[in-house]
Amino acid sequence: MMSFFNFFGTPKKQVEAEKTSKIVEAIHAISDTLKTQEKRKAHLEKQIEALTTEAREFVRLGKKESASVSLKKRKMYENQVKTIDDAMFNLEVQKLNLENTQFQKSAVESFAKVNSVMKETGIKADDVERVMDELQDAVDDQQEVASVLSRPLVHIDVDDELKELEELGQLQKESKPIQVPLILPNVPVDKEKKDDDEEEELKELKRRLEII
């Protein structure tokens, strides 16, 4: 014989509980994925730092090909880090949406409970309005007390203070020492240019490392 609940479907409370459980599970799954990606990103960033140091050492030793390989590897890891950042951003957005859904569902359930209690206890709108008026009066009193306590007990003439600061500024200008321009002798510039291709390539690698 088919039971009452099987015939008419799953009870509403059970359905709502299952929905809440699925939302919580999804949030936990996203959080775990974010932690894993954070660890992976940290590992890649260490690799990038190591490759940068390695490339600088190769340049110092004049090994331009090895330095170029290290820079290419570093670029590959940087692209992976960017991909992880984009994926983590999307996951954060989805997690936020799920948390908002969970909050809204919880809020609706709370409003329903409040409505039920108000009906059972016979709370009327006039009673609520009276309580809110009393609460507003109490808040107004607190604000008035705070305003009185914030009044200064000692009056300070701001104009006198500003005048004194202007006088001090004028004294500093008058006592400022005279600066004598320093003329340095012209240094001859060596106009010889080096055409060595290997040295030019090393300079280019150094320039690329300077922007790291």
Domain ranges (residues) in the chain = 10-121
Q: What percent of the chain has pLDDT over 70?
A: 67
Query: Quick one: pLDDT at residue 199?
Result: 73
Give the separation between CA 85 and CA 70, rounded to whole angstroms. 23
Residue 120 CA to its chain's centroid (Å): 47
User: If you compute the radius of gyration of the chain from its CA atoms, what whole number of angstroms results?
Assistant: 36
Q: What's the pLDDT score for residue 146?
A: 73
CATH 1.10.3720.10 fits 10-121, yes or no: no
> Which amino acid, 76?
M
* DSSP annotation of 2: -
What does the pLDDT look like over 112-151, one tens digit per residue?
A: 777 777 777 666 777 778 888 888 888 888 888 777 766 6
Confidence of residue 5 (pLDDT cuts 50, 70, 90): very low
Instruction: Note the pLDDT tens digit of each residue in 67-123.
Output: 999 999 999 999 999 999 999 999 999 999 988 888 888 888 788 777 777 777 666
